[in-house]
Amino acid sequence: MEAFAIYLLKSSLFMAAFYMVYTLWLRNETHFSVNRVYLLLSLVTSMGLPFVSIPSYQATAVGKGIATLGNVLLPGVTVIGNAGEGQSSITWLAAIYLVIALGLLAIVFYHIVKVFYKIRKENRSSISIPGVRVVEGDQFDVPFSFFNRVHVPKNQYTEEQLKVVLRHEMVHVQKRHSADVVFAWVVCSVWWVNPFAWMLLRAIREVHEYEADSISKGQGASPAEYIRLMLETAMPGLVPALSTGFNKPLTLKRLAMITKEKSAAMSALKYLLAVPAGLLLVFVFSTSSCSKKEEIKTPEAPASVEALVEKVIVTDTIIPDAKQESKEVFFIVEKMPSFPYHGVAGQAGFEKYISDNVKYPQEAMDKGKQGKVYVSFIVENDGTISNAKIIRAVDKVLDEEALRVVKTAPKWIPGKQRGVNVAVGYTFPIIFKLQ
């Protein structure tokens, strides 16, 4: 749920940025077809850009991000915790969000079926247009188009008015405006909490009408005559939610767009403003910090001393003689360190100690935090633990608990190389898992 919430937030911010660019610089331009493409791409790219990740590399001396070179990777332990009230609240919020989204999608589907069903019940008009089904009836009291269907109220228009209405509706059909509206409604159903998704839907519907007005007015009547016919035929009535139609609200903005002179070709350069806006947001929200690291495979703990000796790798490390102690850190020695605990010795004793003493923090359970924390440490030549640190973090609270239980461990029996106590490095994973 947390990952999905972050995705919704990022995509919502992209939608907000694209809509603000449209409102400030593009909305008053008469490049209606370009505006339509811009608005649709704003929805599509806003859904895709959160998946873009720009790596920011930093040099590090970590092998595969898990264990430092020279450490023995132990099997680790799993700590089980119960999801707290906070996690339950998040689950309920996710369920509520999903129910509302599915409900809105069901409404979209219902409207599609409803429009097709009602149009199917109406009679075909005597007007024949190739590839288009024109119907007349009283199922709806206003004209509209939906995909390749055009509905006209029966006995409501003069011949001249009907020609204007049909020219307008045919633009919607030919430009496939209904597909835009259905797509935008689906996006709004999923991003229903994002007001900018609804604003983009409204802007798309406005551009549809501007585009249809711009094309249809040039096919016959003058702008003044076209407006007169619009005012004569304008009437209140319920229009199907997903349809496009001649009788959409005659706002002052729409009337102004009909009479406005075409924008200069150079004004199309304004659309390039969307490029830096999108790139800036991608850089801000999609940059992830990565580490450049060599492909180093961390050796697993050997099953026995004999197997250990067989795995000794000759390196530049100087093996101390029997009369001096070493300050070097080893990962393969003749006698590995042992951790006696409650009748269990060796590395298994340390695993049992961790399992018995680690606690799943209540704060982490309440927030639903879980994952695998990797702790590296050194068993010194006197058996104490030193240099304990987190090399792969999950959450601050879980990391602190993993460090606490390792740092407070009793002494080990140190490892030996040629009879001398030596320091040995380990990496220990602790898995915090909610049920």
Task: Give the whole-number percent of the chain exceeding pLDDT 90.
Answer: 35
**Tokens at residue 155, please?**
């006995």
397, 314 in Cβ contact below 8 A? Answer: no
Query: Which residues, 6 or more positions from 290, have their beta carbon under 8 angstroms from its beta carbon?
Result: 55, 56, 57, 58
**Tokens at residue 123, please?**
């009679």
As a three-state string, the secondary structure of 236-299 is CCCCCCCCECCCCCCCHHHHHHHHCCCCCHHHHHHHHHHHHHHHHHHHHHHEEEEEECCCCCCC
Residue type, 433: K
What does the pLDDT average to over 403-408?
93
What does the pLDDT average to over 77-97?
71
Q: Does residue 107 or residue 151 have the better pLDDT?
A: 107
**Tokens at residue 248, please?**
């959409």
Mean pLDDT across the chain: 79
Cross-strand bridge partners of residue 59: 292
65 pLDDT band (50/70/90 cuts)? very low
Decide: helix, strand or coil at residue 423. Answer: strand
235, 153 in Cβ contact below 8 A? Answer: no
In whole angstroms, what is the distance from residue 301 CA to residue 77 CA?
A: 15
**Block residue for tokens 């030549």:** 381
Could you give the maximum distance between any two Cα atoms of the chain, in Å? Answer: 113
Decide: helix, strand or coil at residue 62. Answer: coil
Cross-strand bridge partners of residue 287: 54
pLDDT at 237: 56
Decide: helix, strand or coil at residue 137. Answer: strand
Nearest to 412 by CA among 358, 357, 335: 335
Residue 108 has pLDDT above 90, yes or no: yes
**Tokens at residue 204, please?**
């798309």
In whole angstroms, what is the distance from residue 134 CA to residue 167 CA?
A: 12
Decide: helix, strand or coil at residue 139. Answer: coil
350 pLDDT band (50/70/90 cuts)? very high
List pLDDT tens digits, range 275-293. 776 677 667 766 554 444 4
Mean pLDDT lowest among 10-14, 161-165, 377-381: 161-165
List pLDDT tens digits, range 285-338. 665 544 444 443 444 444 444 444 334 333 333 334 433 444 688 888 899 999
434, 1 in Cβ contact below 8 A? Answer: no
58 pLDDT band (50/70/90 cuts)? very low
- DSSP string covering 88-123, please? HHHHHHHHHHHHHHHHHHHHHHHHHHHHHHHHHHSE
How many CA within 13 A on the CB side of residue 27? Answer: 17
Task: Give the whole-number percent of the chain exceeding pLDDT 70.
Answer: 76
List pLDDT tens digits, range 158-216. 887 788 888 889 999 999 999 999 999 999 999 999 999 999 999 999 999 899 988 88
List of domains in the chain:
2-286 (no CATH), 302-434 (3.30.1150.10)
Q: What's the count of helices (H) and strands (E) in the chain, helices before strands?
A: 13, 13
Residue 153: CB atoms within 10 Å:
20
Residue 18 has pLDDT above 80, yes or no: yes
pLDDT at 128: 80
Residue 409 has pLDDT above 80, yes or no: yes
- DSSP string covering 307-327, please? HHHHT----SPPPP-TTS---
pLDDT at 320: 41
What does the pLDDT average to over 45-52?
86
Backbone dihedral region for residue 383 (phi beyond 0: left; psi -120 to 50: alpha; all else: beta): left
**Tokens at residue 111, please?**
């409207």
